Amino acid sequence: MDPTRTLPPGFLEQAREFMDGTREPAAPRSASTVVLLRDGDGRPGGLESYLLRRHVGMKFAAGMSVFPGGGVDPRDSEVDPSLWAGPTPEEWASRMGCTPVEARELLCAAVRETFEESGVLLAGTADTVVADTTGDDWERDRAALEAHELAFSDFLTARGLVLRTDLLAVLGGWLTPVFEPKRFLTWFFVAALPEGQVTRDVSTESDKVAWFSVRDALRLADDGQMMLMPPTYATLCDMYDATSPAAALKHATSVPFEMITPTFNPETNRLESNDRIVQLGTRVGEALAR
């Protein structure tokens, strides 16, 4: 198992053009994605994660199975401190290697995009978490957020809710390789499916959604039956040893944060990551082979 991959011919030519300076890389857009988890069989690899398969016509990651997430909306920075519960933006910034303003935007984007793409809302009061978002009124708000007709701060205010940042942990980040025409600087968060809530097939950007055990998703990817980008694949490997959502969140907080940028090796025609990710893939591959 290898979180990197051999590039197809079209990408090989692009990658070499960026290496020799023929092309200039696109500016990356800040984004958040959330590894939404629920209990599985209690064994390594059994933890279940929610994945969405993106429409084949999408400009980025077409046909790939991904976690809920998306780019930061300019209005994500408007969330007032009174609408925030849990670690402060300053505390998040210290962990994430960014500014407090960026941390606030990224946490808001993580919660907003998860609601838009799965119907799951990581919000509530300071002491409670929303238990059900399946009503027609919730769906109207979700659709309005997705259509950019409603700001996330206005949504929280109208419902008397606060963003529960204590329900999330940040695992790390990935920067799209320079040869991709559309690039993202993405922070990967981990969260448990709140008690009482259910995922819904609501995203307009996907054609299939499902819960998969980490074990099954990796095996399907290795067998060519599911397409996963290297960050998604590597993140699932990172979740392999966790036997519960709580264990996964604890692991995320214990791993040193780093922003990973896969690089192209012209000698092997492959994308390469750092040593930890490569060793992780090797170890998980050996575990699955047993």
Check if the beta carbon of residue 53 is closer than 8 Å to that of residue 65: yes
Rounded to 10°, the helix 136-146/152-159 angle is 160
**CA 272 to the chain's CA centroid:** 20
pLDDT above 70 (res 7): no
Lowest mean pLDDT among 102-111, 120-129, 150-159, 270-279: 270-279
pLDDT above 60 (res 61): no
pLDDT of residue 25: 81
Is this model's pTM higher than 0.85 or not? yes
pLDDT above 80 (res 99): yes
Tokens for 226? 């599911």
- Largest interatomic CA distance in the chain: 57
Question: pLDDT band for position 62 (50/70/90)?
Answer: low
Of 136, 130, 134, the closest CA to residue 159 belongs to 130
Measure the CA–CA gap between 112 and 155, rounded to whole angstroms: 10
pLDDT of residue 251: 97
29-38 and 69-71 as β-strands: parallel, antiparallel, unpaired?
Answer: antiparallel
pLDDT of residue 263: 79
Could you name the CATH architecture of 9-289?
Alpha-Beta Complex (3.90)
Residue 173 neighbours by CB distance under 10 Å:
25
Question: pLDDT band for position 269 (50/70/90)?
Answer: confident
pLDDT above 90 (res 136): yes
pLDDT above 60 (res 234): yes
Question: pLDDT band for position 2 (50/70/90)?
Answer: low
pLDDT of residue 76: 93
pLDDT above 60 (res 56): no
Please state the length of the chain. Answer: 290
Q: Which residue bears the tokens 């023929």?
A: 22
Question: pLDDT band for position 247 (50/70/90)?
Answer: very high
pLDDT of residue 266: 75
pLDDT of residue 12: 66
pLDDT above 60 (res 83): yes
pLDDT of residue 116: 96
The rounded mean pLDDT for the chain is: 89
Check if the beta carbon of residue 45 is closer than 8 Å to that of residue 287: yes
**Phi, psi dihedral angles at 242 (to 5 degrees):** -75, 125
Measure the CA–CA gap between 109 and 115, rounded to whole angstroms: 10
Measure the CA–CA gap between 80 and 277, rounded to whole angstroms: 37
Average pLDDT, integer, range 151-173: 97
